[in-house]
Structure 1
Amino acid sequence: MAIERATFGAGCFWGVEVRFNEVTGVIDTTVGYEGGKLEHPTYKDVCTDRTGHAEVVQVTFDNSRLSYDALLDAFFALHDPTQVNRQGPDWGTQYRSVIFTHNDEQFRAAKIKIAELNASGMYRDPIATQVEPALAFWKAEEYHQRYLEKRGMVSCHI
């Protein structure tokens, strides 16, 4: 088994977490905050839209069963990557489309995937997804972990 991590922001992390947990080869998911300037942010902090954090899902996956490229495909399929700072009814920088990469290989793969999607004509507008090196990941409060699953829900608006 080749365990790796990947971190994605695609809007509200509740629905994103559910979708990634459906992907064969994903071992675990953790929702949290990344990309901001405040240490140990809370949900309340991030919702002010002043910390710079995105709501993200950190995915632990078995690279012998699931490629990073396949995870990128899942990420782009589960949200509208042309939206800037919003997904569905949610808006603000915390809902931006972003990929936090854990190594140079992931960074290159994300940039190549975005170029391919832009060239494909699949989207009317250009991809707005940001690609940034992963820095500090702050785990969200426990009540956010598997939020929809705990409530017997299978999806939200995404």
Structure 2
Amino acid sequence: MSRIFPVAAVLFAGSTLIAFTSPGDAAERAILAPAAAMIEPVVGHLETATFAGGCFWGVEGVFSHVKGVISATSGYAGGEAATADYESVSKGTTGHAESVRVVFDPTEVNYADLLRIYFSVVTDPTLLNRQGPDRGTQYRSALFPASPAQEKVARAYIAQLSTAHIYTRPIVTRVESNRRFFAAEAHHQDFMARNPTYPYIVLNDRPKVAALKRLFPARWKA
């Protein structure tokens, strides 16, 4: 079901959001994760990484405010090109997850730094195939590493967090290698920046950006 509704419909969904994001769900709860013990070596001026952690509006919104991030693009990863569109992905049967491709300068912010932000602010890694009010495999918590080095760092960091018992439940975030990214439709790009008062954004995504600014002030950019 599309999130591009008339305001009245979104407000009705908002009452559902409150129920879904009750304390028992532990959804969208910001936790300051420790710095990664393993860091990917810098091999170039720009790198790319893809993250999935619920609705791509909020994931994009967070990463676009990280210092050193050049661009954040909403899209789909995990499935095939033929089904890389919002209507198909929304059915939850394509293998795709709503994802965000992040282009960053590793001399300013490395992949391990982005992982720390992702696990602290972007996603609740203990929720299986859901985030906040959204349900389905298309909203899974997943990492799509762009290189073997990124995959090694991602798996090591998940193991580090699991050993440290940062969360009260097991981490279910998946690492999915060799998956293509497909950019989403134009109206999904920069959605949060263009619609800051949209009810879904206010309830679910602006708190994530506020948590980024609060927990990572040195990483914040306006």
Structure number having the greater helix percentage: 2
In structure 2, the partner of 1:133 is 177
**1:114, 1:156 → 2: CA distance?**
28
Aligned residues: 158
Relative to structure 2, which stretch is displaced further, 35-44 or 102-111? 35-44
DSSP 3-state at the match of 1:72: helix
**2:80, 2:112 → 1: CA distance?**
29
Shift of 1:136: 1.7
TM-score scaled by structure 2?
Answer: 0.68
Matched, 1:100 2:147: no
Letter in 2 for 1:29: A
Residue in structure 1 matching 2:133, options 89, 92, 111: 89
**1:101, 1:156 → 2: CA distance?**
29
For structure 2, which runs of at least 5 residues remain unmatched after alignment?
A: 1-43, 206-222
Contact 1:86–1:96 (Cα < 8 Å) also in 2? yes
Shift of 1:34: 0.6
Bigger radius of gyration:
2
Matched, 1:4 2:47: yes
Check 1:110–1:155 CA distance in 2 against 1; reply closer, same or farther (3 A cut).
farther
Shift of 1:155: 5.1
**1:155, 1:13 → 2: CA distance?**
14
1:6-155 equivalences under 5 Å are 6-37=49-80, 39-78=82-121, 79-153=123-197
Structure number having the greater strand percentage: 1
Deviation per CA, 1:119-149: give whole Å up to 9, x if none.
1111111110000114221110000000111
Contact 1:17–1:146 (Cα < 8 Å) also in 2? yes
